[in-house]
Amino acid sequence: MIDSKTIGARLTYLRGEKSREEVAKAVGASERAIQSYEIGDRIPRDEMKVKLARYFGHTIEEIFFAENVHFE
């Protein structure tokens, strides 16, 4: 698995111009949780990984595990 900072950077990139509040409401998380994921303090639990992947239209593998995927 890739490190939490890389996952955070991917989530931040995928969020784009959307607010953390918008993403949090869509996936059933708090804004603080989304922030923690994005800065690499926490990695989402499996249930949240599924919700985030669906929301952003990518696979769980692409966002959380693949080392050779670059969203930028």
Per residue in 3-61, pLDDT tens? 999 999 999 999 999 999 999 999 999 999 999 999 999 999 999 999 999 999 999 99
Residue 1 confidence (pLDDT) above 70: no
Predicted TM-score (pTM) of this structure: 0.93
Residue 72: which pLDDT band, with cuts at 50, 70 and 90? low
Burial (0-12, 13-18, 19+ Cβ within 10 Å), 2? middle
User: Which residues fall within 8 angstroms of residue 64, CB to CB, at 6 or more apart?
Assistant: 1, 2, 7, 43, 44, 49, 53
